[in-house]
Amino acid sequence: MSRSKKKTKIQGITTATSEKENKQEANRKLRRLVKEKLKRGEKDLPEIREVSDVCDFEKDGKKYNPEMSDKELRK
């Protein structure tokens, strides 16, 4: 994998490297709510966007940076 690199020059806006923890928390919250509603017999289940807000995640979006160096493009 020494030659693999990103094809597009896009990077996160903040210094956070990953949103993995944020996504895990959101999915745990969703699964917990779905379980509770199913136990109560409700059929109207929430969607992931109703439970969590992407704007609250550590990375606040991505941007195109045409001046990224080869070092920044390496995986």
The alpha helices in 1-75, defined as continuous H runs, are: 20-40, 48-51, 70-73
pLDDT surpassing 70 at residue 6: yes
Q: How sure is the predictor about 2, in pLDDT bands with cuts at 50, 70 and 90? A: low
Tens-digit pLDDT profile for residues 39-51? 999 999 999 999 9
pLDDT of residue 44: 93
pLDDT surpassing 90 at residue 17: no
pLDDT surpassing 80 at residue 8: yes
Cα–Cα distance for residue pair 48/59, rounded to 1 Å = 18
Q: Closest Cα to residue 13, out of 64, 53, 71?
A: 64
23-43 in b/e burial notation, b at 16+ Cβ within 10 A?
Answer: eeebeeebeeeeeeeeeeeee
